[in-house]
Amino acid sequence: MSSEVETSRVAPFKAVPRDSSTSLGMTIFAALDVCHDDTPHSAAMNMAVDEALLEYAAIPLIRFYRWQSPALSFGYFGRFTDVASYQCERDLVRRWTGGGIVFHGEDLTYSLVIPTSDTAFAESSTSIYEKIHQALCDALSEIGQRAVVARVVDSDPGSATVATRTGISDTGYSCFANPVRADVMIDGRKIAGAAQRRTRRGLLQQGSIQGIDLETDLAQRFARELSTDRRERKVDEEILNRAREVAEQKYGTESWLRKR
């Protein structure tokens, strides 16, 4: 299966508000399954459910989920030594996607799967990442939060290395301390980031929203900005059984956790 993360030299970014030149003019997906997974799972199981959903998805699907205990996820290319000190206090897991270190427990975590059959899959990973985050900005604006997408400043002669396919670079740092292109910002502070992986079955984007008041219907508003044709669904037993296998064989193993 293909990966994952590519880095390139691009101009530095700044947060700018959306204007008519960047407006999408429509939702991203013609149809969208929405899953509010209210059953808290272990970190390994959450990663496994995301992978299983990518295997089975027939149309784009977004899953909002919870954590059984305080957790820490780190990117596929990350080093275990960078997170080992948290092992006594958090449930650690290596993601299948790229990116840096993300602390979970108080955040709104989601995964979005796009099967290859959907027209959105043909777009670049960077474009998908930015469009999803613009939808999130629109949802945040509805609840009075002035959120913007971090964009590249073409006129700046300087340059910076960023992960242009995931929006997150792969060094061992906290993702939320280091915003990059297309992350979501409020008052110069990163509040949402994500990482992606492409496979022959589709694209998986795993994202986290944190550092703001989440006692709202933000998840529902976010989904509404992604598609006007939504269907509520649950993670069915077939998916859960597959996820249990993946968690046992992959995400819950020491060999996966200490892969690098």
DSSP codes, 89-128: TSEEEE-SS---BEEESSSEEEEEEEETTSGGGGS-HHHH
Rounded to the nearest 5°, which phi and psi values hold at 142? -65, -25
DSSP 174: B
Q: Please state, in angstroms and rounded to a whole number, the distance separating the CA atoms of residues 78 and 98.
A: 8
Rounded to the nearest 5°, which phi and psi values hold at 54? -65, -35
Of 51 and 216, the structure prediction assigns the larger pLDDT to: 51
pLDDT digits (tens, 9 = 90+) for 130-144: 999 999 999 999 999
pLDDT at 16: 39
Q: Please identify which residue in the block is written with the tokens 């280091």.
A: 178
pLDDT at 73: 98
Residue 6 pLDDT level (bands cut at 50, 70, 90): very low
With CA atoms as reference, report the closest residue to 208 among 80, 85, 71.
71
Q: Which of 80-84, 96-100, 161-165, 224-228 has the lowest mean pLDDT?
A: 161-165
Kindly give the residue spans of alpha helices, DSSP state H, lying in the chain.
43-56, 125-142, 218-226, 237-246, 254-257
Q: How many CB atoms lie within 10 A of CB 17?
A: 12
pLDDT at 174: 62
Which domains, from first to last, does the chain contain? Answer: 7-257 (3.30.930.10)
Region 215-238: mean pLDDT is 95
pLDDT at 177: 64
* Predicted TM-score of the model (pTM): 0.82
Cis amide linkage into residue 4, ω under 30° from 0: yes
pLDDT at 208: 97
Q: How many CB atoms lie within 10 A of CB 229?
A: 10
pLDDT at 165: 34
Kindly give the residue spans of alpha helices, DSSP state H, lying in 111-196.
125-142
Q: Which of 86-90, 150-154, 181-185, 211-215 has the lowest mean pLDDT?
A: 150-154
Where is 74: in which H helix or E strand?
A: strand 71-74
pLDDT digits (tens, 9 = 90+) for 29-81: 999 999 999 999 999 999 999 999 999 999 999 999 999 999 999 999 999 99
43, two tokens: 């970190």
Region 136-164: mean pLDDT is 68
